[in-house]
Amino acid sequence: MVKLSIIIPHYNTYDLTCELMEELRRQYTNEIEIIIIDDSNELRLDQYKDISKIIHNDKRQGLSKARNIGIDNTIGEYVAFIDSDDMISPDYVKTLLQAIEIHKEDIIVFNWKDKNTGAICYHPENYAVWKAIYKRETLPYFNNDLWYNEDVFFQEELDKRNLTKTFINGILYYYNSNRIGSNFWERNNERKKNMVKVEVIQPFTLSRFEEILDLERKNIDKYGELFVGDTFYCEKDLADYLLGENALKKPFVKVIEIIPKSKK
């Protein structure tokens, strides 16, 4: 019987995903299933077909759609989400399988640590979906129209269902905050000329930190979402989205600096 289904959306993080999959290989048992939803048609991931189901999308669908595809393909009692550029503890699977046996709550939440700063989040209440596992029968779907703040929508849908929750000890997840090395970061000097600088006025999560630059945190010891007072640079489309042009109809930032486009 499959007790835990692990959903991993992948988009252009092949090397980091391989590190994650090698760790999952060491922990693999027949009580779990691993589902990779590949949004970048990376066929090299097929090397992990022995321990996972791999679904290649012909074109990028977005994180929400990828996770929904994963949900539709699960059979486990509980569902976990892992981002493809993050990492898990060596006892991630063992601890969660034990928790499933002991606890019968709808949501089982665990502690996590920031890989880059060492900050630890105990008993997290932030919006990040990977901080917990969820009974599959209770899961809402993500909003396919949301390419940002999809975690907020998901958690708000969970809150409407009056689900039971418990917290377990131990750091099981390692979050790769503000990841450097993407194509976006390599082109940041040129692209920054066409960006705006914004300040957070309402907490929110951002699943792809590579789409922002020069993040300055107001609360350096708090991670998992962006907090009031944090500032960063982003392109106009993302700024418009965060200023209120989103499905939630909520402003999350205010513009504090406009950078004029560079002259040719």
* Residue at 263 is within a domain: no
Range of the domain at 70: 4-175
- Domain end position, chosen among 175, 207, 242: 175
137 closest CA partner among 79, 65, 93, 64: 79
pLDDT digits (tens, 9 = 90+) for 148-180: 667 888 988 998 998 999 999 999 999 987 565
| Whole-number pLDDT of residue 25 | 98
Say yes or no: 154 and 88 in one domain.
Answer: yes
Element (H, E) at 142: none
Tell me what the mean pLDDT of segment 91-107 comes to: 97
pLDDT on residue 183 = 38
Is the pLDDT at 65 greater than 60? The verdict is yes
Where do we find the tokens 């600096």? Answer: 257
CA angle 7, 8, 14 (to 5 degrees): 165
- The CATH number covering residue 118 comes to 3.90.550.10
Instruction: Using pLDDT thresholds of 50, 70 and 90, give the confidence band for residue 194.
Output: confident
Mean pLDDT of 58-83: 94
Last residue of a domain, one of 148, 175, 202: 175
User: Span 179-190, mean pLDDT?
Assistant: 48
Q: What is the mean pLDDT of residues 102-124?
A: 89
Q: Do 15 and 99 have their domain in common? A: yes
Is a pLDDT exceeding 70 seen at residue 259? no
For residue 64, is pLDDT > 70? yes
Asked if 26 and 153 sit in the same domain, the reply is yes
DSSP strand E in the chain: where?
Answer: 4-10, 32-38, 53-56, 78-81, 87-88, 107-114, 120-121, 132-135, 165-175, 195-200, 212-216, 231-235, 253-258
- Residue 227 in domain: yes
18: β partners: none
Contact (CB, 8 A) for 80 and 96: yes
- The residues, ordered by sequence, that sit 6+ positions from 44 with a Cβ below 8 Å of its Cβ are 14
What does the pLDDT look like over 130-146, one tens digit per residue? 999 999 999 999 998 87
pLDDT digits (tens, 9 = 90+) for 197-252: 999 998 887 755 656 777 787 765 455 578 888 888 888 888 888 998 887 788 99
Closest by Cα among 75, 57, 61 to 7: 75
Give the count of domains, the chain.
2
170 and 215, same domain (yes or no): no
191 pLDDT tier (thresholds 50, 70, 90) = low
Shared domain for 204 and 250, answered yes or no, is yes
Specify whether the CB–CB gap between 80 and 6 falls below 8 A: yes
Find out whether 139 and 106 touch, Cβ atoms under 8 Å: no
Q: Is the pLDDT of residue 187 over 60?
A: no
pLDDT of residue 227: 85
Q: What is the CATH number of the domain that holds 193?
A: 3.40.5
